[in-house]
Amino acid sequence: MATPDRPGFALPLLMLAGFRTLIDDLHAELARQGHPDLRPVHGFVLQAVGMAGTTASELGQRLGVSKQAAGKTVDRLVALGYLDRADDPADARRKLVRLTDRGLDGLRRSAVVFDQLRDRWAATLGADRVAAIEDDLRTVAQPNFFRLDVPGWFGT
């Protein structure tokens, strides 16, 4: 890393580098485990869909993008076999977006790999330092997107 004389520049650069390291490692491992076409954005979408399923509009709200953008991303993930659409019997306008078995598999494997990556960081830095980073970021970071009030994503 270059160390500019302005210290503040290091913070966003390192945050980005840390995030990209995790994501790149995740997708390298997912590709090895049979999910080579899963792209960085897709993981967040699969999480946002959740076990209960959702609609394109609500998905857009959860991800902080327009409903049209969410719809197009759902199209791609449907084509890849990770999501499917079903009519809502209670409301003919809505189309329920749900995880397929493949989508669920990708999500579960992501969770496992993220755990392993966190363990790797903990082995280098110490578990307390990793937890401290998480606590600190929880304090200062504003999650104005990916707000998921869906409990038990990976539950039983």
Partner DNA sequence: ACTATCTCGTCAACCACGTTGACTATCTTA
Partner DNA sequence: TAAGATAGTCAACGTGGTTGACGAGATAGT
Which residues of this chain interact with a copy of itself, rule CB under 8 A?
1-2, 4-24, 26, 47, 110-119, 121, 124-125, 129-130, 132-134, 136-155
Q: Should residue 56 be labelled a site residue for DNA when binding is judged by CB under 7 A?
A: yes
Segments in the chain forming alpha helices (H) = 10-32, 40-49, 56-63, 67-79, 101-125, 127-140
Binding site partner of 145, from a copy of itself, DNA, none, Cβ cut-off 5-8 A by kind: a copy of itself
Nearest to 18 by CA among 124, 144, 128, 156: 124
Choose the binding region for DNA from 16-24, 40-48, 103-111, 115-123 (rule: CB under 7 A): 40-48
Residue 72 vs 120, nearer CB to DNA: 72
- Would you say 148 and 62 are in contact if contact means Cβ atoms under 8 Å apart? yes
Question: For the chain, how long is the longest CA-to-CA vector?
Answer: 61
- Would you say 127 and 135 are in contact if contact means Cβ atoms under 8 Å apart? no
Choose the binding region for DNA from 18-26, 33-41, 108-116, 122-130 (rule: CB under 7 A): 33-41
97: helix, strand or coil: strand
Residue 89 vs 156, nearer CB to a copy of itself: 156
Q: How far is the CB of 61 from a copy of itself (least distance, A)?
A: 14
Q: Should residue 85 be labelled a site residue for DNA when binding is judged by CB under 7 A?
A: yes
Binding site partner of 66, from a copy of itself, DNA, none, Cβ cut-off 5-8 A by kind: DNA
Residue 134 vs 145, nearer CB to DNA: 145
Please state, in angstroms and rounded to a whole number, the distance separating the CA atoms of residues 96 and 112.
27
Residue with tokens 């392993």: 116
- Contacts with DNA by CB under 7 A: the residue count is 28
Residue 23 vs 78, nearer CB to a copy of itself: 23
- Would you say 26 and 117 are in contact if contact means Cβ atoms under 8 Å apart? yes
